Structure 1
Amino acid sequence: MSYQGNWVRRGEWLELTPGKVLTSQADREEATAKWLLETVEMPEKLLRKLQHSNGIQWRGDRLRLALFPVREAGIEAIWSELEVLYEDDFCLVVNKPAGMAVHPDDRGTDVTLNHAVAAYFEASGVETAVRHIHRLDKDTTGPVLYAKNEYAQLKLDEAMRQKKIVRIYAAIVQGRVSPDLKVIDLPIGKDRHHAQRRRVSLTGQTAITHVLEAEVYREASLLYLSLETGRTHQIRVHLSHMGHAILGDSLYGGYSVSFGRQALHGAKLIFAHPFTGEEIEVDAPWPEDLLQLKEEKSSKPFRR
């Protein structure tokens, strides 16, 4: 479990009042370390770091943890309008627009979401590193989760490894999807004929996509999907392989749409708060172009 009591941030410090469970202990230092590991579930790596740097202190009955040290962003701050979907002292979730990569690569100098988040932190007076927990393709819209301190990063990275962060996507695809299509369990590897493409390959990595819901129209379908694994282009590759390429996804055989990108949107993000354990559910509003495409396709219903 995670910490269930009251807490307050004071500058670089987080203050807790654990009560007699710790204040009554003869060896308070040892009891505190054990409590932080077992009850709060602090990552051991961070606990040792705080112990070494005097980052765990007592002030009367208040336990103080240096969880919010000043850190450089690690990337240039470049302003771009951001839609913030959720924020507290530990986490930030922003709605990524189409046409913007999450982080820079070696091939371009475009403004990325990380640049914009650095500028947002700077404008908000938040002095911390920019740490994204997961990514979206450049032309995919939806929520991206950021950790605002090392504690949150360690906990959220582990949650990703354990597949405890749920990402639900909406995709408008070619053709009428069968109601029997519930799970796509096909390995994905690189396409040796195309540097940017991936393909279903027997020698590839395990990849599992779940089809949660479907709305079937005359010439297309709206699918809600979740990922059990997070391979590059996983949804796009799986749906294309099943004969239902995402509309606008020219890389994987989807026929063109007026806005010239794949009709794929991260609709919902669900994760446990890294400190309190509370379930956080974040819905990301659909972009206008995708809403218009849905209206266009749904106006031609499929009748069995």
Structure 2
Amino acid sequence: MKPFELKYVAGEKGLLREALHNWGISKRTLASVKYGGGQILVNGNEVTVRHPLESGDAVTVVFPLEELGKGLQAESGDLKIVFEDDSLLIVDKPPLQNTIPSREHPSGSLANIVAKHFEDNEIPATLHIATRLDRDTSGLVCIAKNRHIHHMLSIQQQEKKMSRRYEALAHGKIDQKRFTITAPIGRKNSSIIEREVRADGQFAETEVKLLKAYPEFSHIQLKLNTGRTHQIRVHLAHINHPLVGDDLYGGTRNLISRQALHCRELELVHPVTGEGLLFESPNREDMAALIR
């Protein structure tokens, strides 16, 4: 297996340590390179971070080989790949599939199938899922192929340089064309799964845009400004328009057999090239059939 590596060109004189910091290589990443079997090369020669750089020097960071966790079994299955390169894997997850294994669903998850993809293609990576979706929710999922790339994607999320737009069907007729739900979310005292709007919860904000109102439901677009567990589901229930099919938060399943929520767009900056990327996924057939 070929290890993951990144290449840079020094723009000016200075210590290698400072240049690596400017390129987004954290101290933790450097420690994993130093003690985990990686290398730092300047013009093809292995050096330490104290090495003095000259303008134009070629720097290569070779990352340690990563291994899949022993608890994650590689399993064959359908994998709809939207984009893939040495750093990123963007996939389109179907509904009724866990992102990672759970006690109730220990196999057949997206993670199990991606593990098989990594194994078959000799990609030396553990599973770094940057954007996770609930079992019922369909749509785009971003996976990093390296701890460092995952770290850089986490920074993007904190700096709001990565965004996801969802489409959903909500019970009832929503009258406002655009509005924002700002309400703190915390764990419900009586449940380890359920969340609720509560005064001592974490700040949460969801932007809502009405696409079309139907007799029984409203077709809406949502953008998350924060990433709380079950945020969309809790916020819609809070305004008395729970997701169609979301029986945990007050919806009913008379129209669809799962919560009607789909991650339609994923926008981010490529963590290596700096290129802006936008991915789209059409609604799944069960939702599309209701809004035709």
**Aligned match of 1:33:** 17
TM superposition shift of 1:250: 1.3
Extract unaligned runs of 5+ from structure 1: 1-9, 296-304
**Aligned match of 2:33:** 50
**Aligned match of 1:63:** 59
TM superposition shift of 1:186: 0.9
User: Whole-Å Cα distance in 2 between the matches of residues 145 and 56 of structure 1?
Assistant: 28
For 1:12-27, what aligned pairs fall within 5 Å after superposition? 12=3, 14=5, 16=7, 18=9, 21=11, 25=13
Extract unaligned runs of 5+ from structure 2: 45-56
Distance 1:257 1:162, change over 3 A: farther
**Aligned match of 2:94:** 97
TM superposition shift of 1:93: 1.0
User: What do residues 121-154 of structure 1 show as CA deviations (whole Å, max 9, x unaligned)?
Assistant: 1122212111111211110001111110122011
Q: 2:81 aligns with which of 81, 84, 90?
A: 84
User: Whole-Å Cα distance in 2 between the matches of residues 284 and 66 of structure 1?
Assistant: 34
Identity over aligned residues, as a percent? 32
Give yes or no for contact 2:178–2:209 (8 Å, CA) kept in 1: no
User: Whole-Å Cα distance in 2 between the matches of residues 237 and 109 of structure 1?
Assistant: 26
Partner letter of residue 99 of structure 2? V
Does residue 244 (structure 1) correspond to residue 227 (structure 2)? The answer is no
What SS is found at the alignment partner of 1:138?
coil
User: Whole-Å Cα distance in 2 between the matches of residues 120 and 17 of structure 1?
Assistant: 29
Give yes or no for contact 2:184–2:199 (8 Å, CA) kept in 1: yes
User: Whole-Å Cα distance in 2 between the matches of residues 128 and 13 of structure 1?
Assistant: 9
TM-score norm. by structure 1 comes to: 0.83
**Aligned match of 1:72:** 67
Give yes or no for contact 1:33–1:47 (8 Å, CA) kept in 2: no
What SS is found at the alignment partner of 1:250?
coil
User: What do residues 101-130 of structure 1 show as CA deviations (whole Å, max 9, x unaligned)?
Assistant: 111234442321111110111122212111
CA RMSD, aligned part only?
Answer: 2.3
Partner letter of residue 31 of structure 1? L
TM superposition shift of 1:31: 3.1
Q: Displaced runs of 4+ in structure 1, greater than 6 A?
A: none
User: Whole-Å Cα distance in 1 between the matches of residues 114 and 155 of structure 2?
Assistant: 22
Partner letter of residue 101 of structure 2? P
Q: 2:112 aligns with which of 111, 115, 135?
A: 115
Does residue 214 (structure 1) correspond to residue 242 (structure 2)? The answer is no
Give yes or no for contact 2:208–2:222 (8 Å, CA) kept in 1: yes
What count of residue pairs does the alignment treat as equivalent?
A: 277
Partner letter of residue 211 of structure 2? A
What SS is found at the alignment partner of 2:219?
strand
